[in-house]
Amino acid sequence: MAIRRVVALSAVLLLLCSPVGFGQDERAARQQLDTLGQEIESLSQRLSATGQARDSAERELQAVETELAQTHQRLDELQQQRRQLDDEMNQLHRHRDRLETERAGQYAALAQQLAALYRLGPTPQLKLLLNQSDPAELDRMQAYLNRLNQARQRRLADIARLDTALADTQTELDERQTQLDALSEELEAQSALLAQRTLERRSVVTTLDDRYGSEADRLADLNQSREQAEQQLRAIQAELARLSEPTPTTHITRTQGDLPWPVQGSITADFQRRSGMHYNGIVIQASEGTAVTAVHTGRVVFADWMRGFGNLLIIDHGDQIMTLYAHLQQFSARPGQQVSRGDEIGRVGNSGGQAGSALYFEVRRGGEPINPQRWIARR
């Protein structure tokens, strides 16, 4: 499970937030780090079954939506790498243009020097000795010839340096082009995989929908999944509360009623609506792929697929306050990562077998859901 990735990062973060830090006894710090690591490892093992589905169809949905999220993330990484490579190649092209301009200038200056020497004839020093009777004039002319010769040598050295720099730049450009070609091939492969996984998901969702005799049966099953998920979420809260070093306060309670929306959109389901599906949060409709942002500073404690929620990310803000972001297309933050208000943590999706794209958002205190609309700012 992805929750196990929390171990190393969370241990370090908890250590930094604990009283033991720099300037303390190194052995004591290491012991505390080991203790925290063991606690979080134990927590990870106890929560390892969190995302398990109940039957083969749901397990298949979990598998395909998990792979879809990973494919989306990989595509984002590849696109970022491609943009970086494009920027590097543009910089190299500009650098090459500057070098070629500089080299052309050096060639032009060298041509002027050679033209001056040509006008003096093939043996200018001998002519000076034969034609000049004034020793002072002879010295001046000799000094001029020496400077001209030195300047020519410098020009030739600069041209050689520029030739080497241009060759190196071209080598780098060739290497970047090779990387870009390989990246383009992987992008095509990942795009094809994404299309395949999308079709697979559609087939699985159809299979799941076909097993319901009526809409009432479907809602009853969804509510049952949510009830089971409630128990798991409370278990996560309880296990986090047992850690010897809880998340430090982020003073989130001071921002009640002024938190930013995690995504802009219209609310299509209110908190604890009694008709149809029972929600412990709100559903915000938004386009698939829209960035979802953290509403407040905190630490990611869960980022994985969970029955009833699809791809679910949980942030612990301290003071027993957690925010939940569900039905994500993909994750942009990992367990153990510190996030700040406004940081992207995922993308809007329809995971969990949802028909349309939307974000499900919850706020919990001590594991119990509270109305998110009392925390986010009014519009």
Report which DSSP code applies to 260.
Answer: P
Q: Give the integer Cα–Cα distance in Å for 137 and 181.
A: 65
Tokens 């990942």 -> residue: 190
Q: Based on the domain organization, do 304 and 325 belong to the same domain?
A: yes
Nearest alpha carbon to residue 60 among 214, 226, 207, 196:
207
Phi, psi for residue 326 in degrees, rounded to 5: -120, 170
Q: Based on the domain organization, do 303 and 341 belong to the same domain?
A: yes
The domain boundary residue, chosen from 173, 200, 227: 200
Q: Is position 76 within any domain?
A: no
Name the domain count of the chain.
2
Number of C-alpha atoms within 13 angstroms, CB side, residue 112? 8
Give the containing element (helix H, strand E) for 341: none
Q: Based on the domain organization, do 136 and 182 belong to the same domain?
A: yes
Q: Based on the domain organization, do 131 and 249 belong to the same domain?
A: no
Q: Based on the domain organization, do 192 and 250 belong to the same domain?
A: no
Q: Is position 67 within any domain?
A: no
Q: Give the integer Cα–Cα distance in Å for 327 and 261.
A: 16
Which range marks the domain in which residue 227 is found?
A: 2-48+212-374
Q: Is position 323 within any domain?
A: yes
| Angle between helices 135-210 and 124-131 in degrees, nearest 10 | 160
Q: Is position 319 within any domain?
A: yes
Contact by Cβ (8 Å): 348, 289: yes
Query: Which CATH number does the domain housing residue 340 bear?
Result: 2.70.70.10
**From the first residue on, what is the mean pLDDT of each consecutive set of 10 residues in the chain (379 residues)?**
40 38 48 45 48 63 84 85 85 84 80 68 54 58 65 79 86 86 84 82 77 67 73 76 73 90 91 65 93 93 86 90 94 89 95 89 89 88
Q: Based on the domain organization, do 169 and 218 belong to the same domain?
A: no
Q: Is position 61 within any domain?
A: no
Q: Is position 54 within any domain?
A: no
Q: Based on the domain organization, do 270 and 346 belong to the same domain?
A: yes
Q: Is position 159 within any domain?
A: yes
Contact by Cβ (8 Å): 305, 351: yes
Q: Based on the domain organization, do 281 and 191 belong to the same domain?
A: no
pLDDT at 12: 36
pLDDT at 30: 45
**pTM flag (> 0.85):** no
Q: Based on the domain organization, do 161 and 219 belong to the same domain?
A: no
Q: Is position 62 within any domain?
A: no
